[in-house]
């Protein structure tokens, strides 16, 4: 397997590692273990970010956490996504990946739902010492809202910019971004987004962070202000996570617009 010296960021979508349609947190154990094995075959530096799936969205919706502040709901939802994080970390360590959970609630402050600051020194040291930090969609404290839902789809581009990581893979339950005929869209840039926007919607399951549309918009914002290309691919299909880590262009590429040479 090709190993880049540069770290990569891999997102494990909640629609892949959980039964996102369930009304409580259910782990898709076989998929999680398969992905953990694929990750273990990669020897380079990596940050894993996973989604909340049915461990988070279900409770965030139940307690209206995308609409207002409910302290009991914050705790119940945070404790639930921590349980998923613990299962992800255990699965990775079962395959020899030195994974350590980093809960955003403990290191992040938001303002109106956008990351204002995140403590990163520990994450940098983990990468230096061969650990794999595992972050995840979480509830975090917010300077205006009290607390907010923080999506892994916002954490991934934030970490990429702050840590200058240029290869991002977001594993989801679909082959990538699909058009109305279910055909894979190979590339989306800020300029071509208008062409495809009407194909891209929220999640098919309970979701409070925008589904595929929210994901694509976060990655496009990143591509407007950096040279970073992201890949949205189907981590639910065997070997795809390995293929992404191995440097393949897989799924839908979210890329910067080509600069016109003058």
Ligand X SMILES: Nc1ncnc2c1ncn2[C@@H]1O[C@H](COP(=O)(O)OP(=O)(O)OP(=O)(O)O)[C@@H](O)[C@H]1O
Ligand Y SMILES: C=C(C)CCOP(=O)(O)O
40 annotated binding-site participant: no
Query: How far is the C-alpha of 35 from the C-alpha of 237, rounded, in Å?
Result: 9
In this structure, are residues 193 and 220 in contact, taking their beta carbons and an 8 Å threshold?
Answer: yes
CB 16, CB 172: distance < 8 Å:
yes
Least spacing, CB of residue 59 vs ligand X, in Å: 12
Contact flag: residue 232 with ligand Y (CB under 6 A): no
Near ligand Y by CB under 6 A: residue from 12, 25, 47, 56: 56
CB nearer to ligand X: pick between 122 and 137: 137
Q: Is 13 in the site for ligand X (CB under 6 A)?
A: yes
Please count the other Cβ atoms lying within 10 Å of the Cβ belonging to residue 161.
12
Pick from 111, 162, 160: which is nearest to 140 by CA? 111
Residue 15 assigned to a binding site: yes
SS3 156: helix
79 Cβ contact partners less than 8 Å away, ≥ 6 residues apart:
none
String of contacts with ligand X for each residue 179-218, x by CB under 6 A: --------------------xxx-xx--x-x-xx--x---
| Residue 77 partner contact from ligand Y, ligand X, none using kind-dependent CB cut-offs of 5 to 8 Å | ligand Y
- Residue 199's binding partner, choosing from ligand X, ligand Y, none, with beta-carbon cut-off 5 to 8 A by kind? ligand X
57 is in an annotated binding site: yes
| Bridge partner list, 167 | 229
Among 7, 73, 137, 236, binds ligand Y (CB under 6 A): 137
Q: Does 16 bind ligand X (CB under 6 A)?
A: yes
If one asks whether residue 152 binds ligand Y (CB under 6 A), the answer comes out as yes
Least CB distance to ligand Y at residue 259 (A)? 31
**For residues 139 and 13, what is the distance between their CA atoms, to the nearest angstrom?**
17
215 is in an annotated binding site: yes
Burial bucket for residue 213 (CB in 10 Å: 0-12, 13-18, 19+): middle
Supply the minimum distance, in Å, between the C-beta of residue 14 and ligand Y. 4
Instruction: Pick the closer one to ligand Y by CB: 194 or 235.
Output: 235
The residues, ordered by sequence, that sit 6+ positions from 43 with a Cβ below 8 Å of its Cβ are: 1, 3
Decide: residue 28, CB within 10 A, 0-12 exposed, 13-18 middle, 19+ buried. Answer: buried
Known binding residues for ATP: 11-15, 53, 211, 215
Known binding residues: 11-15, 52-53, 57, 152, 211, 215
What residues line the site for ligand Y (CB under 6 A)?
14, 51-52, 56-57, 60, 77, 81, 137-139, 149, 151-153, 208-209
């Amino acid at each position: 397997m090709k190993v880049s010296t540069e770290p990569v960021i891999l997102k494990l979508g909640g629609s892949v590692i959980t039964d996102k349609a369930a009304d409580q947190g259910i782990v898709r154990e076989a998929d999680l273990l398969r992905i953990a094995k694929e990750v273990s075959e990669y020897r380079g530096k990596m940050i894993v970010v996973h989604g909340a799936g049915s461990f988070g969205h279900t409770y965030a919706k139940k307690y209206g956490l995308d609409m207002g502040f409910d302290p009991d709901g914050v705790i119940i939802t945070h404790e639930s996504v921590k349980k998923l994080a613990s299962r992800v970390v255990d699965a990775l360590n079962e395959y020899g990946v030195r994974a350590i959970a980093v809960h955003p609630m403990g290191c992040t402050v938001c303002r109106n739902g956008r990351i204002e600051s995140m403590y990163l020194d520990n994450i940098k040291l983990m990468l230096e010492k061969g650990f794999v930090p595992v972050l995840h969609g979480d509830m975090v404290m917010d300077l205006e809202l009290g607390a907010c839902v923080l999506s892994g789809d916002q954490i991934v581009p934030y970490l990429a910019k702050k840590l200058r990581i240029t290869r991002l893979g977001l594993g989801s339950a679909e082959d990538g971004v699909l058009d109305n005929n279910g055909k894979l869209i190979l590339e989306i840039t800020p300029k071509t987004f208008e062409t495809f926007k009407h194909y891209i919607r929220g999640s098919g399951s309970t979701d409070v962070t925008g589904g595929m549309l929210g994901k694509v918009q976060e990655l496009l914002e990143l591509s407007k202000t950096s040279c970073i290309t992201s890949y949205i691919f189907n981590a639910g299909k065997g070997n795809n996570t390995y293929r992404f880590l191995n440097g393949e262009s897989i799924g839908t590429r979210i890329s910067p617009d080509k600069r016109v040479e003058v």
